[in-house]
Amino acid sequence: MPGDHICLTRRRLLASLPALPLLAGGCNFSPSETLRLGFNPWPGYELFTLAEQLGYYRQLGLDVQLVEFTSLGDSRRAFERQQIDVAAGTAVELLTASSTLKQTVQAFFLTNVSAGADYLIAQPHFTSAASLKGRRVAVEPGSLNLLVLHLALQAAAGTGGPLTLQDLQLVPLSQTSMPGAFQRQEVEAVVVYPPVADELLRLVPEQARVLFDSSMTPDFILDLLYATRSTLEQRTGELVLLVQGFEMARQYTHDHPDDAYARMAARTGRKRDDFERDMRGVRLVPLPEQAALLQRGGRAERILYESLQALRDAGMNLTLAEAGLASSNIVTRAYSQ
C-alpha cells in the first residue's frame, strides 16, 4: 500500500538519526507491547524481513515491528536507549551495550556466521594487513570493524609479531562514507561489509585489493540477536515466535533460493547476483544446532569472551555487570514447540 511505503520510508529516516528523540504520532516507534527488533543492512538479517513478507509472523500471531538502521552502531544505541527491545548485531555490539547499560545483555539466537562477507580492502599496492603500519584505515567506531581489523592484523603476523590497532591511523567513518573516501584516496584501507562492500569489490583487482575476509577466521564472527536478561525473562513467548519465524524463512530460502534471493535483493534495492554472492559469505545456523552453541560455556559464549579480550587488547574499556553472555533458553523452546 502507498501509505505503508511512506511509513517505512519515514521509519528508515528516523532510524538513520540515532540521536533524535522519539517523535509522537505518525510512524513513530511502536509502544512497548509490540516487540521491536532493530537491525541494519546485512544479508543474514534480511531473513527477518523475508519472514514478515511471507506472512510468517502474522501466521504465528507475533506483533513485531522491524526497525531498520543505517549501521550496527545506530542499532546498538537505540537498544541502549530502550527504543527497541531486541537488536541484531555482533559480539562487539552486545559487549558494548552490556558495558554501557551496566546490566546483563545476552545472545539468545545466532542468525549466521560470517564466512567471507566482512572485508579489509586496501589500495592496490598494499600486499598485506601488516603493510598498513602507520597508514590511514577507515573504521566505523565502536563496531565489528575493530574486531575484523584486529583479526586481520593477527592473521598477517610475521616473525616480528602482529601489529596492533595502535600501529595504524584509525579514521572514524560511517560505512556509507567509506567508498567515497577510499576512491578519493583519503584513506589507504577500509573495513566494510555488504551492501557497502559491493562498490569496492567491483574495483578489485586494478583499483583495490582484498587483504582479508572473514573466511580466513571461520566460525569466529557471529551475527546474533541480543537482549537484556529482563527482556529474555519477561517476553520469552514473543522471542520464541521471533526465532521460529526466522527459521521458517531460513527453510524457505533453502528450499526456494531463487525466489528468496530475488525478494530480499528487491527489498534492499540491490542486484540479485550481488545479494546471492554475499549470502555465500554467510552461513545460516539451523535452529536444531543452536542450543548446543548457545548453552552456558558453549562455543558462542567462548567466542564472546575471546572477542571481549581482543577488544580490550585493542584499547576498548569494556566491563561486564556479571558473567553469562549467552542463553540457550529461547532456541530450546523454539525447537521443542
Same domain, 97 and 125: no
Q: Does residue 267 surpass a pLDDT of 90?
A: yes
C-alpha 156/C-alpha 169 separation (Å) is 17
Cell output for 19: 540521536
Show which of 175, 191, 216 is a domain's final residue.
216
C-alpha 117/C-alpha 101 separation (Å) is 30
Same domain, 88 and 74: yes
Same domain, 109 and 14: yes
Q: Does residue 87 surpass a pLDDT of 50?
A: yes
161: pLDDT confidence band, cut at 50, 70 and 90? low
Q: Does residue 25 surpass a pLDDT of 90?
A: no
What string of DSSP letters covers 297-336?
Answer: TSHHHHHHHHHHHHHHHTT-----SSS--B--HHHHHHHH
Give residue 320's pLDDT: 85
Are the CB atoms for 81 and 152 separated by under 8 Å? no
Give residue 55's pLDDT: 98
Give residue 160's pLDDT: 59
239: pLDDT confidence band, cut at 50, 70 and 90? very high
Give residue 5's pLDDT: 32
Please give the single-letter amino acid code of residue 92: V
Q: Give the C-alpha distances (Å, rounded to integers) separating 129 from 73, 101, 218, 292.
A: 24, 34, 18, 34
Same domain, 226 and 240: yes
Mean per-residue pLDDT for 79-104? 95
pLDDT above 90 as % of the chain: 72
Same domain, 107 and 140: no
Q: Does residue 11 surpass a pLDDT of 90?
A: no
Same domain, 179 and 260: no
Peptide bond into 195 cis (omega under 30): yes
Lowest-confidence region among 65-74, 139-148, 288-297? 139-148
C-alpha 128/C-alpha 259 separation (Å) is 38
Same domain, 189 and 227: no
189: phi then psi, degrees, rounded to nearest 5: -155, 160
C-alpha 276/C-alpha 9 separation (Å) is 25
Same domain, 86 and 184: no
Mean per-residue pLDDT for 67-76? 93
Give residue 256's pLDDT: 97
Show which of 216, 240, 274 is a domain's final residue.
216
User: Which pTM does this prediction carry?
Assistant: 0.81
Bridge partners for 218 per DSSP: none
Give residue 74's pLDDT: 93
Same domain, 326 and 199: no
- For residue 203, what is the domain's CATH number? 3.40.190.10
pLDDT in tens, 273-293: 999 998 999 999 999 999 999
Show which of 189, 216, 243 is a domain's final residue.
216
Q: Does residue 17 surpass a pLDDT of 70?
A: no
Mean per-residue pLDDT over the chain, rounded? 88
Residue 228 vs residue 28, higher pLDDT? 228
C-alpha 273/C-alpha 43 separation (Å) is 13
Q: Which of 157-171, 250-264, 299-313 has the largest mean confidence?
A: 250-264
Handedness of CA 10, 12, 16, 20 (dihedral sign): positive
Give residue 315's pLDDT: 77
Give residue 220's pLDDT: 87
Give residue 18's pLDDT: 38
pLDDT in tens, 290-325: 999 999 999 999 999 988 887 887 778 888 867 789
Same domain, 270 and 176: no
Same domain, 62 and 158: no
Provide the domain count of the chain: 2
Mean per-residue pLDDT for 239-251? 98
Domain around 36: 2-113+220-336
Are the CB atoms for 129 and 155 separated by under 8 Å? yes
Same domain, 41 and 183: no
Kindly give, in sequence order, each residue whose CB lies less than 8 Å from that of residue 27, ignoring residues fewer than 6 positions away.
6, 7, 8, 10, 11, 14
User: Strands (DSSP E) along 69-208, which ranges?
Assistant: 86-90, 105-114, 119-122, 136-139, 169-172, 189-192
